[in-house]
């Protein structure tokens, strides 16, 4: 799946703005913060457990540039109530 993702990024010509970073979300957030990196948009598709979603939102909130956009995958109250609850 990762190879397909990379192929699609390159094929569509977005390899100059999409930077794949194949590590777990906690490690990535720590890395970005240590490097003083900021993001205009963050799309997270990770664990759906309430505590994990909260941890990701807190960690990545510090990485998100003021005025940036945070997108949390599976924001669906019918299937993933824990994701919606954590986001609220």
- The confidence score (pLDDT) of residue 78 equals 82
Judge if pTM exceeds 0.75.
no
Q: How confident is the model at residue 1 (pLDDT cuts 50, 70, 90)?
A: confident
Distance between the two ends of the chain, CA-based, in angstroms?
31
Pick from 1-5, 52-56, 75-79: least confident: 75-79
Q: What is the pLDDT of residue 32?
A: 92
Q: Is residue 26 part of a domain?
A: yes
User: CA 47, 14, 54 angle in degrees (round to 5)?
Assistant: 20
Range of the domain at 45: 22-87
Domain count, the chain: 1
Arithmetic mean of pLDDT, 28-55: 89
Q: Is 1 contained in some domain?
A: no
């Amino acid at each position: 799946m990762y190879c397909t993702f990379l192929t699609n990024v390159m094929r569509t010509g977005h390899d100059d703005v999409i930077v794949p970073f194949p590590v777990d979300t906690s490690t990535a957030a720590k890395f970005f913060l240590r490097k003083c990196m900021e993001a205009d948009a963050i799309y997270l598709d990770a664990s759906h457990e309430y505590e994990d979603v909260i941890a990701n939102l807190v960690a990545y909130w510090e990485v998100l540039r003021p005025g940036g956009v945070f997108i949390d995958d599976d924001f669906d109250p019918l299937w993933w109530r824990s994701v919606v609850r954590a986001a609220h």
